[in-house]
A and B are shown apart, each in its own frame.
Chain A
Amino acid sequence: MRDFTFASVCLRMLLAFLAGGAVGFGRAKKAQPAGLRTYMLISIGAAMSVLLPIYLFEMLNGPWADVTAEVGLKFDASRMASQVVTGIGFLGAGIIMKALHQQVNGLTTATALFATVCMSLAAGAGFYECVIIAAAVIIVVLNVMAPLENAFKRRLRDITIGVEFTCAEDINTITDLMKQQQAQIVDIDIESTEQKGGKYPSAVFILKLSREKHSHSGILSTLAELPCVRSVQELIS
């Protein structure tokens, strides 16, 4: 099946289609922007982009061998596949969007599409064992790791908090409260100081909580109780 025959081409296309679908299925269930079809379509395209240069190489050494003998062989079989990598990079960039408090949405989807495409390139090349292992790894990373990662981050002493407040002077009140909670302020990033267009002044605080008081929900609710605070949000990227 490593040989380039009609049957092996069908098998490779089918493998890419199914492996892409397997990754997409888990994402669709979680109501992510890219669903089952997107993953399948992109996998088909990527597998074709590897099969196409293999076909061209066969032709250059077979029916078109006379031209090759005359002009010389100038051919790079990896060229098309390499452009798939950049092409899907662009597509991924289209999904990534900026949210409140310098947060970014869609990054996981973009990278999942990217990983799926790279897996399908392997499928097109007939690197079957790699495809099966890659599909398993991608599915595990996407579906099992997210809750683990979040749970881990919520236990850390480091916390990033996005706060909206009434006016610029409130930053002092907020930092005072944080110090009172024995939190060490690592960084403050003030996003805006004026109230305009229904948006309140806001800032992002990066804190290192004290060893004794390191409950994330504790500091969040303490901050929310301040009269000047309009909203509090833990930022988990």
Chain B
Amino acid sequence: MLNFLNPLRGLDAGTVVLRMLLSCLCGAAVGVERSAKNRPAGFRTHILVCVAANLAAMTGLYLYLELKMPSDISRISAQVISGLGFIGAGTIVVTRNLSVKGLTTAAGLWTTGIVGLAIGSGYYELAVIGTALVLIAETFFGMISARIHRPPEYTVELAYDEKTSLENVLRLCKDQRMSIVNLRVRTIAVSADDGAQYTATITLRGNVETDDMLRQMRMMHGVVAVAAL
């Protein structure tokens, strides 16, 4: 804690203005990066969250320090933290193929709110450290995050009429060091003389020359058709 800032930590017209300006600034700094990427919560949302949290914290201080009410100065601030969790949950979207979008936005919004609380409580240096770390996480580590090597996923549709084919195909995948993420088997056509025909949808993860692997699958006994999706 930096003691030379102590005169600025109380509540008077000047420090209220200072707090409002600083919360706008911190909210904007985080929001600009999100806006630039055209995410659901942009510039204004982040400023609003930061300013609102700042107001809530200031009101908590005001009740105790100015009105001399026997209250806990951190109670209002504390509820802001769980309340923003709700808002964050609202920004999360579950897409049709069961993946999640908006989680980073939710996390950023939540942390921006806590930065606002620090400003409202007069803990300016913590707010500045927090904003700096958030910006480092969003820009620098965002780039790293995009470069983290993820083995790609492939989905292969396989039609076959001999039940051992699937086993052979799966063995081929394992030999190629692909890991099987998901497997669904369906029976598509049945007639008395032809016997059953099956289709399997296999999701694989790994680094492999796909064209080559598909060719090998096609040549297998009992495999009718192979397609990569």
Contacts and interface: CB of A to CB of B under 8 A. Distances in A.
B183 to A, nearest CB: 8
B187 A42 contact: no
Chain B interface main SS type: helix
Contact of B1 (A9, A17, A28): A9
A141 to B, nearest CB: 20
Contact of B65 (A25, A64, A82, A221): A64
A188 to B, nearest CB: 20
Contacts of A30: 150
A106 B88 contact: no
Contacts, number: 226
A36 B108 CA distance: 12
Interface stretch (B13-21, B40-48, B132-140, B215-223): B132-140
Nearest to A88: B85
B126 A25 contact: no
A130 interface: no
Given A84-B81, A94-B106, A6 B125 contact: yes
A95 interface: yes
A80 B68 contact: no
Interface stretch (A67-75, A151-159, A173-181, A189-197): A67-75
Counting from the closest, the 8 A-B pairs by CB-CB distance are: A87-B85, A94-B89, A45-B111, A33-B100, A90-B85, A94-B92, A40-B137, A41-B107
Interface of B: 1-2, 6, 9-10, 64-65, 68-75, 77-86, 88-90, 92, 94, 98-100, 103-104, 106-108, 110-111, 113-115, 117-118, 121-123, 125-126, 129-130, 133-134, 136-138, 141-142, 144-145, 148-150, 153, 163, 166-167, 183-187, 190, 196, 198
